[in-house]
Amino acid sequence: MNVDIKTISLIAQKEILFSLRNKWFLIYTIIFAILSLGLSLIGLSGLENYGVSGFGRTTASLINMIILFVPLMGLTLGAMSIAYERERGTLLYILAQPVSYLEVIMGKFFGLGVSILVSLVLGFGLSGLIIGVKGGTADLQGYMLFIMLTFLLANVNLAIGMFISGYFRKYDTALGVSIFVWLFFVIFSDLGVIGTSFLVNLNINQVFLLTIFNPIQVFKLSAIFSLRDNLEILGPVGNYVVRNFGSNLQFFLVGILLTLTVIFMYFTQRLFKRRGAV
């Protein structure tokens, strides 16, 4: 494997620079910061009266926002990454230099990943500041774990978005498909699992297996488990999962998110090499 770290770093730096100049990225960052701050303030209201730790309560408020917003950000930024440059012709220019397809893909992924991390840290950082002032720092470790899980969720969706971008030649087609995938993950996936389990009478094990193919569901399981050490709130499937995996559950779920990221990046690289620069 002919990979040069400096080349990857250079392409990553270019991606970070362009993200900062990309209006969509700036819009995502601002909206995420506003939503995080707003939900944190709402979540913390009345905190003093109940004696409840600030970070845990705020994290719970943020989960539903995260599972809608972060995958959308990852998918669409990923979908723009290859198709846009291919359509403009700048991808041809870069690949005409002494770089490999793998270096370009990895550079783009790491660059966009860092950009998304900056966006998340800004949003979570502002919320964390408010929480720390108002609610104390008792659950800080859990909050940090939550940020890491959110970043992993973003990366999986970034990888899926890049796969879509590598497949479709036209930028607006890639963007449209990425939004459809987001809708599928957010809405249809749950309905699909419920519908299928009714139609073909799936057992709990099978329902769980269907669930873990959706990175949003994996994130939700992991985030809730990080807050509560149990998943009773999710019903029989939640109890099943905790009973079977115990204290290894978090490692298992994180492992799924990482594995999905690696799988999609692998196929993105292969697809990119097969299609070429144009």
Partner 1 sequence: MIKILEVTKRYGKLKALDNLLADINDCEATALWGSNGAGKTTLIRCLLGVTPFEGEIFINNKNLRNDNKEIKKSIGFVPQEISLHDNLLVSETLNFYSQLKKTTTDSIGKWTEILGIDVFRDKLIKELSGGMRQKLALAIALLGNPLILLLDEPTANLDLRSREDFIHLLGLLKSEGKTIIFSSHRMEEVMSFADRVLVLDNGKIIADASPMSIYKKFGRNGILKIFIQPKSYETAINLLSLHGFTSSMNGKGIKVKVDPDLKIEPIKLLLNSGLEIENFDYEVELF
List interacting residues with partner 1 (CB under 8 A): 2, 6-7, 10, 14, 18, 21, 88-90, 92-100, 273-278
For residues 162 and 271, which CB has a smaller minimum distance to partner 1 in the complex?
Answer: 271
- Alpha carbon of residue 179 to chain centroid: 14
The sign of the dihedral angle between the CA atoms of 227, 228, 229, 232 is negative
CB of 18 to partner 1, least distance (A): 7
Residue identified by tokens 């400096």 is 6
CB of 164 to partner 1, least distance (A): 20
SS (H, E, C) 174-217: HHHHHHHHHHHHHHHHHHHHHHHHHHHCCCHHHHHHHHCCCHHH
For residues 104 and 260, which CB has a smaller minimum distance to partner 1 in the complex?
Answer: 104
For residues 172 and 232, which CB has a smaller minimum distance to partner 1 in the complex?
Answer: 172
For residues 92 and 209, which CB has a smaller minimum distance to partner 1 in the complex?
Answer: 92
CB contact at 8 A, 114 and 12: yes
Q: Round to the nearest angstrom and report the end-to-end CA distance of the chain.
A: 23
CB contact at 8 A, 140 and 55: yes
For residues 123 and 166, which CB has a smaller minimum distance to partner 1 in the complex?
Answer: 166
Residue identified by tokens 């569901």 is 217
- Alpha carbon of residue 120 to chain centroid: 10
For residues 96 and 199, which CB has a smaller minimum distance to partner 1 in the complex?
Answer: 96
CB of 89 to partner 1, least distance (A): 3
What dihedral angle (degrees, nearest 10) is formed by the CA atoms of 181, 183, 115, 42? -160
CB of 67 to partner 1, least distance (A): 33
CB of 55 to partner 1, least distance (A): 39
For residues 170 and 243, which CB has a smaller minimum distance to partner 1 in the complex?
Answer: 170
CB of 17 to partner 1, least distance (A): 8
Q: Exposure pattern of 9-40 as b/e (b: 16+ CB <10 Å)? A: eebbeebbebbeebeebeebbeebbebbeebb
For residues 21 and 201, which CB has a smaller minimum distance to partner 1 in the complex?
Answer: 21
CB of 74 to partner 1, least distance (A): 23
Q: Exposure pattern of 78-88 as b/e (b: 16+ CB <10 Å)? A: bbbbbbbbbbe
CB of 252 to partner 1, least distance (A): 39
Side-chain half-sphere of 76: how many Cα atoms within 13 Å? Answer: 19
What dihedral angle (degrees, nearest 10) is formed by the CA atoms of 265, 269, 274, 278? 100
